[in-house]
Amino acid sequence: MHPRAPAPLILTYHTISPQSSKFVYSASCQQFEEHLTWLSDLSVHVGLETLPQITFDDGKLSDYEFALPLLEKYQIRATFFVTAGLIGNNSGFMDWQQVRAISSLGHSVQSHGWSHLLITRASATELHRELEASKCELEDRLGVRVTSISLPGGRWNPKVLEACARTGYQRVCHSDPWTPVERRHDFEFVGRLMVRNSMRAKNLNDVSRGRFPIVFYYRSQFWLKEAGKRVIGDRMYHWLWQTLAGADRRPLKARDADLV
């Protein structure tokens, strides 16, 4: 039996936009600032170690253009999980100068893989690139230790976790915020809450306090989504998800960076 601890509330953002967006996993600047105001107020009343944490996945340009100024305004530090192979190479993603600027301001930059391949599908060569090459690239480019990885799409299996341990990750993040923190191999295995465009600060406050109605609502949504993935498979789930989430309809391989 693995030792377990109560799950902290870790918030994950994918895109910050100036205006409200139909994309489910986009937060407007106004919404994000509302969340930061709540966190700032919360810090007055609780110890810093118990505060909810903020993370970003993918390495989108909006992290630098819109999220960073607001984080600096409220003096809140975040963790940015970036897709190393897409930085400086893909439209809509940050370049290395911008990632360095984020790191220099005291925010943590960690790995989100190399290409955002869902690594449960990866060959041995691809798995090495996604886990180890991404880690080395970030450490070489930024001169910082990379000890954490956010698994693309939250996907994992025993082979992936064993590879994470061999690569030296000390923290591995998945997408189930409702399970306790575990020790798997030599690392901490942690779930995070994916922030949606409908989530207000009050919703997050209720989740952080474990209030039943809202926790039950979000938890039910999560398990229905997971059941759907198992029943219809990734490709059919992706098509359905695009329709419901307001994402664009490029092929699955091109849109893995938004598949959660």
Three-state secondary structure along the chain? CCCEECCCCEEEECEEECCCCCCCCEEEHHHHHHHHHHHHHHHHHCCHHHCCEEEEEECEHHHHHHHHHHHHHHCCCCEEEECHHHCCCCCCECCHHHHHHHHHCCCEEEECCCCCCCHHHCCHHHHHHHHHHHHHHHHHHHCCCCCEEECHHHCCCHHHHHHHHHHCCCEEEECCCCCCEEEECCEEEEECEECCCCCCHHHHHHHHCCCHHHHHHHHHHHHHHHHHHHHHHHHHHHHHHHHHHCCCCCCHHHHHHHCC
Q: Which domains does the chain have, with CATH numbers?
A: 4-217 (3.20.20.370)
Tell me: the pLDDT tens digits for 184-221? 999 999 999 999 999 999 999 999 988 999 999 999 98
- Using pLDDT thresholds of 50, 70 and 90, give the confidence band for residue 250: very low
Calculate the average pLDDT of the chain.
88
pLDDT in tens, 40-85: 998 877 654 578 999 999 999 999 999 999 999 999 999 999 999 9
Per-residue confidence (pLDDT) for residue 225, from 0 to 100: 81
Output the pTM of the full model.
0.89
Whether 231 shows a pLDDT value over 90: the answer reads no
What band does 224 get if pLDDT is binned at 50, 70 and 90? confident
Averaged pLDDT, 17-36:
95
- Residue 243 is predicted with a pLDDT of 60
Give the mean model confidence (pLDDT) for residues 106-115: 98
Task: For residue range 124-181, list pLDDT tens digits in order.
Answer: 999 999 999 999 999 999 999 999 999 999 999 999 999 999 999 999 999 999 999 9
pLDDT band at residue 252 using 50, 70 and 90 as cut-offs: very low
Could you tell me the pLDDT band of residue 245, with boundaries at 50, 70 and 90?
low
Name the band, by pLDDT with cuts 50, 70 and 90, for residue 249: very low
